[in-house]
Structure 1
């Protein structure tokens, strides 16, 4: 559908009720106490990095490396699938019903919908399949092996979303974008229309100030 309108949805906290990758990797750390203990030992070194914008993401990357150390690609993919199975076997709904309904409305209208997310691709895909959205194109983060663990390869976040979407045949400008976070400002700048899903007050202020316009807010998370 080369002439269709492209509609970009963020994933975490836009279509979902929680940050999926964070919950997944926390679960991996907790599965084996030694991993969590190693992270706690490293905290005095990692915590100060959170105060500096340039190094703010390093503690999270270290946590992901510790959570994945010693695990093969096949083992990681199996763990992602098992996590998705457990999420949908539980009582707490992952997907936000109004958000999914809106996504499906776009599909019915003939729009070309794509999900762009910082979540790890195998995990996001497994969750989408469980949620009945497995047919929706997905552009997501990837990991690469490093010293026995896994670290970020392509992080589908902020400015990075633009070339990653373009590489998958969804180059800007886009007709519509949905997100919950000001990290997606680059995405919004290239979208003819956009909506914020239950943004925090700080997020709302940042985006409205940066784009010099009032946001359309969708209170889908209550």
Structure 2
């Protein structure tokens, strides 16, 4: 057992009710029809790429580039903050009450809690601030400029979470991990204990087969 009691939480659909970055970039596309038109014009190229696991992320990257084209980093950060304000003012809670409750329970116990997410860092931070979790360390994805828009620089997903957490001072093994997705199998392999949040059947089967043990499940999204 490690001496440190580091607990790693995934973010989207583990602490939140939806994929936060996806919702944000879709909102940016919808606000200006010419951006959607650009995505639609590229569909003959994007659809075949989506069909292959090796190239499946490229259509998503193109959509993010289209949503961010012509926008500075400062403008994007301002849009992320405004988006956080907008969704928090909406009728549906952004965060899962039981997930946030579990996170706060770990903090109260003296555990070191860190959130590792594929969400874009400024967006995840803005959302956490509005939930009163601004002091929880955050390791998140970054973007870099490319041909007038923005594309993924470091995506905090899957295997990438390991070095990104390590660089921030949270090397494995971790005492506990919470996630909803099988992409986090590398995280689970490096955690002494782990918990799945409302997993789908395919996700649950894949993780239990790989980890060769029954999963501990919490049904925060089904509550």
TM bracket (short chain):
over 0.9
Rounded Cα–Cα distance in structure 2 between residues aligned with 1:48 and 1:212: 35
Contact 1:9–1:116 (CA<8 Å) still a contact in 2?
yes
Match status 1:120 vs 2:97: no
Contact 2:15–2:95 (CA<8 Å) still a contact in 1?
yes
Rounded Cα–Cα distance in structure 2 between residues aligned with 1:79 and 1:119: 15
Q: Secondary structure at the match of 2:40?
A: helix
Q: Secondary structure at the match of 2:77?
A: helix
Indicate the residue corresponding to 2:69 in structure 1: 69
How far the C-alpha of 1:3 sits from its partner, in A, is 5.0
Q: Secondary structure at the match of 2:170?
A: coil
Q: Secondary structure at the match of 1:30?
A: helix
Contact 2:4–2:175 (CA<8 Å) still a contact in 1?
no
Rounded Cα–Cα distance in structure 1 between residues aligned with 2:133 and 2:43: 38
Q: Secondary structure at the match of 1:117?
A: strand
Indicate the residue corresponding to 2:107 in structure 1: 107
Counterparts in 2 of 1:89-104, with a 5 A limit? 89-104=89-104
Rounded Cα–Cα distance in structure 1 between residues aligned with 2:72 and 2:9: 30
Contact 2:117–2:139 (CA<8 Å) still a contact in 1?
yes
Match status 1:55 vs 2:93: no
How far the C-alpha of 1:220 sits from its partner, in A, is 0.6
> Any gaps of 5 or more consecutive residues in structure 1?
none
Tell me how large the CA RMSD over aligned residues is: 0.9
Indicate the residue corresponding to 1:38 in structure 2: 38
Indicate the residue corresponding to 1:152 in structure 2: 152
Match status 1:186 vs 2:182: no
Indicate the residue corresponding to 1:130 in structure 2: 130
Rounded Cα–Cα distance in structure 2 between residues aligned with 1:198 and 1:204: 9
Rounded Cα–Cα distance in structure 1 between residues aligned with 2:107 and 2:137: 12
Count of residues in Structure 1 that have an aligned counterpart in Structure 2: 221
> Any gaps of 5 or more consecutive residues in structure 2?
none
Indicate the residue corresponding to 2:203 in structure 1: 203
Deviations 1:4-49 (A, max 9, x none): 3000000000000000000000000001000001101101110111
Contact 1:4–1:110 (CA<8 Å) still a contact in 2?
no
Rounded Cα–Cα distance in structure 1 between residues aligned with 2:213 and 2:43: 41
Rounded Cα–Cα distance in structure 1 between residues aligned with 2:112 and 2:47: 42
Indicate the residue corresponding to 1:7 in structure 2: 7
TM-score by length of 2: 0.98
Rounded Cα–Cα distance in structure 1 between residues aligned with 2:4 and 2:94: 29
Deviations 1:113-144 (A, max 9, x none): 00000000000000000011111000000000
Q: Secondary structure at the match of 2:118?
A: strand
How far the C-alpha of 1:70 sits from its partner, in A, is 0.0
Rounded Cα–Cα distance in structure 1 between residues aligned with 2:89 and 2:135: 21
